[in-house]
Chains A and B, each alone.
Chain A
Amino acid sequence: MTPGHDTARPLLSVEGLTIDLPGVQPGLVEDVTFQVREGHCTALIGESGCGKTLTSMSILGLLPASVRVSAGSVWFDGVDLLTRTPRQLRRVRGGPVGMIFQEPMSSLNPTMTVGDQIAEARRLHLGERRKTALARARELLERVGIPNAARRIGAYPHEMSGGMQQRVMIAAAIACEPRLIIADEPTTALDVTIQAEILALLRDLQRDLDLAVLLVTHDLGVVADFCDDVVVMYAGHIAERTTVDGLFYDPAHPYSSALLAAVPQVGQARSRLTVIPGRVPSAGGLPAGCRFEPRCAHAQSPCGERQPDVSLGDGRRTRCGRVASGELTLQGALRG
């Protein structure tokens, strides 16, 4: 856990990202701004439907055809990915940026050997021949902890367990020595014991390869163990942007502290964050003021009318006016 004022420069910088469902619903994701620093991990947390997947998919232009980015920019290594041509974008996908998805079984091609799927990025990006790329794929399988790699290289996804499949996904994502990994709930679909193994592997790789990671997760234990910076999303925008220490010791948004309260013992409970009463409003039914106000235990009269976005210094921001004005101090998970 590195403190927030660490000087590593941002590798990925998302600015004012807004995603619409054109003609149906603007603002599925609205004005989202955050950074992922070189060699560091940023967690993207929030309840189901808050826009985490849309945000992470938009970075490499992988949104479904029905939704569209209507504003904002995604700076990666000094260029705005949103202004790249499809061709330029393809060079980034699977090259300097790798992605890992939630369901390893459905995210791997059932008709292709795992070796070919790992080798694919190297053939596409480095122009390697199949044989060379497969030899490298074997090393990668060993690297992600799959025994008997030489034989496993010719296996098909359905011949492997979920944990093995996710290791294959990870091997494929790091095949071209990326600098950034985007992982959308990489362990949610797995058994609890396997989850820990996969996370340990990810952390290991992050240190060894000096990877920056954007980790979408429901698991605050993972955030505590693994991440440096935290982005808390609520109903399509960012409720709070902070560091890991900030989140656990000094949350600056009632939604964050409600999330902490929903997990009694940090580091052990791995339940989904669904224990806060009420539901996340959809983009069509947002309150006029603070989006969390209807569910907030600390809401007072002006909360229903204003939607502030206040800097707290050190790159931290909150959308809670009461916390920003010093009127409200919230309970952290590790305090008292």
Chain B
Amino acid sequence: MSTRMIIRRLGGGLLVLWLVSILTFLLVHLIPGDPAEVIAGENASQADVERIRTELGLDRPVLTQYVTWLSGVLRGDLGHSLFTGKSVVTSIAESAPPTLVITIMAIVLAVLVGVSAGTVAGLTQGSRVDRLVSTLATLGIAMPSFWLAMVLVSIFSLTNPWLPATGYADLGEGFGTWLSHVILPSTALGLATAAELARHTRGCVADVLTRPYVRTARARGASGAWLVRRHILRNAAIPVVTVLGLQAGRLLGGAIVIEAVFGISGLGTLAVNAVLQRNYPVIQGYVLLCAVVVVLLNLIVDLAYGWINPKVRTA
């Protein structure tokens, strides 16, 4: 992909982030009535309301508030929790690791399982393996992730005490311990995406197999792994990458449910509590973080797409 194109994509991403920053900022002002009173709650004293008002700068003109807020954000200052007074950046930094690890592991698992199963199914259309993959994929897409999580826990933690049912361990506590805590949540989170990817990959591989250039490659003596890798997968990957980009954003949201089932305190827990407590600075921080992650993911997908598809690269 040309540098010009990368710059254009980056510019687009920054624009999106700026728009999100405005919406995030306005979150507080979209509350009907006096935001300070609503945030403080019904039983709050007048002193509390005033404290929140100054804390959020609500007594100043809106534009000034936005500029102050945005310059804080750009310096990495997202404000403080209204209740604990803890810096929002610190709270997010503390709860992000489990969520990110589980999401990334889920993506890795989905790509490995989904793409390989889909490729094998597409290459052996109509075979028993193909039918099995298609059935499992339909099941995987239909099953809600929390239910899958419960099934996994009952099999791998309760019936057989192989893996912990709840909690999270840092990598610092040892690779084995870490992995044992990560496997079940990321499997529960990633299987639906694996199923989706398997279905798409199968379709794309089956489609590519009918293309004249595959016949040309065969006529040249290509076969087996050589043919699959150089002629089939690369072409089949182009639409699959797009699907993966869409799925990755969804996974981050799905992590909230999985955290709840496995009792992991990550970003999802932080966000849910913030919403319940109307802890606006934390909500704003969470929304901004999600926007940054999604914009980054899209950028990565665009780059991967351009790398795979020369028609985009040279366009």
Contacts and interface: CB of A to CB of B under 8 A. Distances in A.
B222 interface: yes
B282 to A, nearest CB: 46
Contacts of A125: 221
Contacts of B222: 94, 120, 124
A111 B309 contact: yes
Contact of B215 (A90, A94, A101, A172): A101
A107 B212 contact: yes
Contacts of B217: 109, 120
B311 A156 contact: yes
A162 to B, nearest CB: 14
Interface of B: 211-213, 215-223, 226, 230-231, 234-235, 238, 308-311, 314
A60 interface: yes
Interface of A: 60, 62, 86, 90-91, 93-95, 98-99, 101, 103, 106-113, 120-121, 124-125, 156, 158-159, 169, 172
Contacts of B220: 93-94, 99, 120-121, 124, 172
Interface of A is mostly: mixed
Give the residue among A62, A110, A113, A172 with the most B Cβ atoms within 10 A: A110
Nearest to B230: A112
A62 B219 contact: yes
25 contacts: A90-B221, A93-B220, A94-B221, A99-B216, A99-B220, A101-B212, A101-B215, A101-B219, A103-B212, A106-B211, A106-B212, A106-B213, A107-B213, A107-B216, A109-B216, A109-B235, A112-B230, A112-B234, A120-B220, A120-B222, A121-B220, A156-B310, A156-B314, A158-B311, A159-B314
B11 to A, nearest CB: 26
A86 B223 contact: yes
A91 B314 contact: no
A107 B218 contact: no
Nearest to B224: A90
Given A111-B238, A111-B310, A112-B234, 15 more contacts: A91-B221, A94-B219, A99-B216, A101-B215, A101-B216, A106-B211, A107-B213, A108-B216, A109-B230, A120-B217, A120-B222, A156-B310, A156-B314, A158-B311, A169-B216
A106 B213 CA distance: 6
Contacts of B231: 109, 112
Contacts of B219: 60, 62, 93-94, 98-99, 101
Nearest to B238: A111
A34 B310 CA distance: 43
